Amino acid sequence: MKSELAEFLLKSNAIRFGIFKLASGKESTYYIDLRVLPSFPAYFRMAIEAMRDVIEQGIGAASIDYICSIPSAGIAYASALAYTLEKGLIYVRKEAKDHGTSKLLEGYLKHGSKVLILDDVATTGSSLAHAVDVVRSNGGVVEHALVLIDRLEGAGELLASKGVRLMSIASIEEVVDLLYKADLLDEDMVRIIKAHIGSR
């Protein structure tokens, strides 16, 4: 499943290799945009099933009560996964609204419930860490976070410092290795990407 999904991400331009400027202003040798994946039902289902498998094998679905998403890319994945596992769905805003209730946490969260934080991609982990803080401040218990792809740029370490374990379907290094084995990336590109990963 991982190999088929990785190949589709490349072919659909959900993952691209070259030189890209990220939102942080930093340059990267690859760009990931998983917002396109839900537009392809078969592969979206494959991604949801892969995330479900990571949960079942890693912590067991019975150990979580809610799935908490981070807008906006993660919401489609969190909604589908929450529906599949029959878990409550909540999400955390980056900033409080300037109207209405001005809440950072949207949805109902029962005090003391165990919450899995979910996003599409992990980079530095700042958005995930923000979600952890917001959920905990609202009475939730957070021990795990899940993403489709971990860029290996510090998210795991940041979350670990908060007592949260980061899980993923695959790291960017695994994706690159799968694409190389499928003859979809050449050695030079693999070397460049891995040098970028190693410099973080």
Q: Which of 3-7, 122-126, 157-161 has the highest mean pLDDT?
A: 157-161
The answer to whether the beta carbons of residues 34 and 121 sit under 8 Å apart is yes
pLDDT per residue over 13-53, tens digit each? Answer: 999 988 888 766 778 889 999 999 999 999 999 999 999 99
What's the confidence (pLDDT) of residue 44? Answer: 96
Region 178-195 average pLDDT: 91
CATH of the domain at 93: 3.40.50.2020
Which segments of 138-200 does DSSP mark as H helices, in order? 155-160, 172-181, 187-198
The number of distinct structural domains making up the chain is 1
Query: In angstroms, rounded to a whole number, what is the distance separating the alpha carbons of residues 76 and 33?
Result: 13
Q: Domain span at residue 193?
A: 2-198
Using alpha carbons only, how large is the chain's radius of gyration in Å? 17
Asked if pLDDT for residue 100 goes beyond 60, the answer is no
The answer to whether the beta carbons of residues 30 and 172 sit under 8 Å apart is yes
